[in-house]
Amino acid sequence: MVVRKIALLVSSLALALAAEDLTRNVNVFIGTGGHGHTYPGATVPFGMVQLSPDTYNVGWDWCSGYHYSDDSMMGFSHTHLSGTGVGDMLDVLVMPGTGEVRLEPGTRENPGSGYRSRFSHQDEKATPGYYSVLLKDYGIRAELTATQRAGLHRYTFPASESSHFIVDLAHTILGKEGAAPNVISAELKVAGPDLILGGRRVANWAKGRHIYFAMKFSKPFLSATLYKDGQEAGAAEASGKILKCAVKYLTSEGETILVKVGLSGVSAEAALKNLEAEIPGWDFDGVKTAAHEAWQKELERVRIETSNEKQRQIFYTAMYHMMLAPTLYDDVDGGYRGMDLQVRKGRAGQHNYSTYSLWDTYRALHPLYTLIQKQRVPELMNCLARMAEESPAGAPVWPLQGRETGCMTGYHSVVVLAEAAAKGFQGIDFASAYPFMKKRAMDDDYRGLPDYRKLGYIPSDREEESATKTLEYSYDDWAMARLAEALGRKEDTLVFQKRSANYRNLWDPSTGFVRPKLSDGTFAGPFDPKKVGVSKKWRDFTEANSWQATWQAQHDPQGYIQLLGGRQAFIDKLDALFSQSPQIDGEVPVDMTGLIGMYAHGNEPSHHVAYLYSYAGAPYKTQQRVREILDSQYNNAPDGLAGNEDCGQMSAWYAISALGFYAVDPVSANYVFGTPLFDKATIDVGGAKPLVIEARRKSEKDIYIQSVTLNGKPYGKSWFRHADVAQGGTIVMTMGAEPNKKFGAAPADAPPSMTK
């Protein structure tokens, strides 16, 4: 009888878990304050449309168009970047209103001077795939939802003879207040009594990108007036740079008008086809439900068991943020605009993507994808391979909607490709991508690479951010070596393997730091490891200083141990990093946030550093530091991220670290143990059985690993292989409040490194 009751209880618990609405754990406002740069609007996983409110379009903290500190909004646009440090997008702004038609948004200080409206956060509601707010100045309730390529708006109006919509095709991110929009050209057309078509070419971050739309209203409008450069166009079609449209209505109290908008990178006609395919009717609640179900399906890939509701909310919001990019950038018929701006057609079942923040996301986001988005990895990688072939700029660096932004240092598309090869992913055309990656590494006159090839480093008197570029090219060489090895190119493997040690050419044994070096072979000075550069001309490090950048050769921690003089010296140096005063005299990049000593969690170069202790036989120190970062650098509040979200990387660090491990060197296809937050996590790795990670502890203070079993067998190493868990398995960690200094301490138990 007792056994039967226990069985029923277990069965009931399983059913309850299966029925749990995981989207309720997502707080989409995390990161919308502070320097997170996220947006709260409606989208679906990896969707092309991000339909979200814009509160301002000037300044670093408005890269997504929204900041929680604001109390008025300009309207709702259809494309947004999640957590970037550079702004773009905000395409096709729609703003409802009543009263006098105003063509300009007005100011935050005086919203009534334009079409802006005040709002209160108390009147906002947002869940994955849905956003709603009351526009207080107009008494209009706005609701938004989305499909992959289309957005659906629902507006509830008051009784008014002057209800209207403004469609602002000149709305963009601006370099400064009052600047002219960076619109190259645009066109608008009133194509029917309820239909507007248009498109534009924009020269912001992604210079010359194309975006087109088709906008349909649920009710024929009384009138639709086009404006060019602030004046009535006097026709049903207009072209220029500053184009807008005013659509007028007579509304009764509580009347709803719906607006649906399809997007395309190819043409307005293609956008209309996308719209008709994805939202054929006017079922707002049905589209909202479908968006909810899409998010539930993706969030279900990881189920956690914990009594800590704050950590649960941060984790599932991190999962949500991880699936906001890369973004779809093709049409329902397979058409897309390539990196050369030519219209192309994909093969059946093949998708084109955009928004690869590779400098950031190669570190944790893509490694997590190889576990929880395995079915998507081949098409993401094949897209990068096509981009390399199609793009005049060559190997992808930071591609956005058919253009190469060239943002950040290195060319880390090779890293994610090499990782996929190392982990045995099939269906990826590595062979077609390789020549373009090799061309970048061996031939291109690109950002200091000629000097790097000739000298083994980049001189700081010839190239900005030279030290970081040297370090990152060393890691890219490591990735090139592994990719060449996977393709059987032995000679190339040896060349790139040797070059991947070039980071040592900037090592200064007298200081124990990586330092910028001049073209004559001497170190640049005077040297201060807290400074971002030696000369006033430019920085020597990318968004970092020497304290942070010194550790960037992720493939060779054992090499650092040798350079520093042994394990204890390496541990002491890491301890010194975390215990430094966070005070910096002189320039501090805005990205250098989330400081613990000189460790800067708010920016990606530091993200692997806490895990380096394990390479020196002190994984207990990794466990302590990782838990400190998990607890101090994340919160379930608008300012709950330590720095820019960067298209999912900041959240991916939390998600993978909370599970209990991290990919210090993704190309190695290995993971280093950290400290698990949750009692149990069940991960759908796309096979017949899940990966289960269980932490056996008596209290939340038990943060130190005492012992591990891997797939039922005792396991004493501080790392494990992707192959050990790729098809599912079980990791059980017994935890304690005091460190077990013997676990993972032997040299044979340390994670693999380039230097043996």
Percent of the chain exceeding pLDDT 70 equals: 98
Q: Which residues pair with 705 in a beta bridge?
A: 735
Q: Which residues pair with 53 in a beta bridge?
A: 76
CA 81 to chain centre: 9
Residue with tokens 């955009």, as numbered in its chain: 354
- Indicate the range of 7-11, 326-330, 521-525, 565-569 predicted with least confidence: 7-11
Percent of the chain exceeding pLDDT 90 equals: 95
**SS3 label, residue 163:** strand
Measure the CA angle with vertex 298, ends 295 and 299; round to 5°: 85
301 with 371: CB under 8 angstroms? no
Using CA atoms, how far apart are residues 355 and 345, in angstroms rounded to an integer?
A: 19
692 with 680: CB under 8 angstroms? yes
Using CA atoms, how far apart are residues 185 and 191, in angstroms rounded to an integer?
A: 19
For the chain, how are helix, strand and coil distributed in percent, rounded to 5?
30, 25, 45
101 with 230: CB under 8 angstroms? no
Using CA atoms, how far apart are residues 428 and 419, in angstroms rounded to an integer?
A: 12
Tell me which DSSP letter residue 196 carries. E
Whether 11 shows a pLDDT value over 50: the answer reads no
pLDDT digits (tens, 9 = 90+) for 346-386: 988 899 999 999 999 999 999 999 999 999 999 999 999 99
pLDDT digits (tens, 9 = 90+) for 266-321: 999 999 999 999 999 999 999 999 999 999 999 999 999 999 999 999 999 999 99
Whether 13 shows a pLDDT value over 90: the answer reads no
Topology agreement, domain 23-298 and domain 582-756: no
Span 702-726, mean pLDDT? Answer: 98
Using CA atoms, how far apart are residues 502 and 235, in angstroms rounded to an integer?
A: 63
Span 321-328, mean pLDDT? Answer: 98
Using CA atoms, how far apart are residues 409 and 542, in angstroms rounded to an integer?
A: 8
Q: Of 458, 449, 374, 405, nearest to 727 (Cα)?
A: 374
Q: What pLDDT does 18 receive?
A: 54
Span 709-728, mean pLDDT? Answer: 97
Q: What pLDDT does 687 receive?
A: 87
What's the CATH number of domain 23-298, 2.70.98.10, 3.40.50.10240, 2.40.50.100, 3.90.1150.10?
Answer: 2.70.98.10
pLDDT digits (tens, 9 = 90+) for 125-171: 999 999 999 999 999 999 999 999 999 999 999 999 999 999 999 99
**SS3 label, residue 481:** helix
Span 42-52, mean pLDDT? Answer: 98
pLDDT digits (tens, 9 = 90+) for 417-457: 999 999 999 999 999 999 999 999 999 999 999 999 999 99
Backbone angles phi, psi at 708, to 5 degrees: -135, 140
Looking at CATH, the fold of the domain delimited by 582-756 is given as GH92 mannosidase fold (3.30.2080)
Using CA atoms, how far apart are residues 403 and 358, in angstroms rounded to an integer?
A: 14
Q: What pLDDT does 274 receive?
A: 98
Using CA atoms, how far apart are residues 460 and 519, in angstroms rounded to an integer?
A: 7
Residue ranges per domain, the chain?
23-298, 582-756
Tokens of 83: 């957590």
